[in-house]
Amino acid sequence: MLNEGDKAPNVTLPLPDGSSTSIAGQAGKIVVLYFYPKDDTPGCTTEAQAFTMMADEFAKAGATIIGVSKDTPAKHQKFIDKYGLKVRLASDGDGGICEAYGTWIEKTLYGRNYMGIDRATFLIGKDGKIARIWRKVKVKGHAEEVLAAAKGL
């Protein structure tokens, strides 16, 4: 389990355009790495739209935003196009990114247990260390809270 102050795991983040980035490739920048269950679902759409609405503010604070789910790059691109999203979305098809950040967890819905992505956000400082962690995120007001923390770095 990762803790605040730990070095952020250096994972490769595949992007919808066929390119990729990595946490190490973001050295010297603030990174908001948020994990969400699935593209184009109500909570995930609201979260992506909230980060998009504040994208310019995050940029002014020197932060880049990357959302991660297990959706394919093609599905991410459709999601971006449908809602005009300004956040980068990375695909974690094999689950390695979720495993590295401890966001692939057992969940329960209507008495049924299953594995899924924990809605979580990691604020990574310019030094590559995790400055803040939010687990079991409630979408309402979350982007504002993350922005305030990013401005404090």
| Catalytic positions | 44
Residue 53 is inside which H or E element, if any?
A: helix 42-53
Residues 6+ apart with CB under 8 A from 66: 13, 21, 31, 32, 33, 34, 87, 88, 89, 90
Residue 150 to residue 62: CA distance in whole angstroms: 8
- Report the C-alpha gap between 42 and 56 in whole angstroms: 23
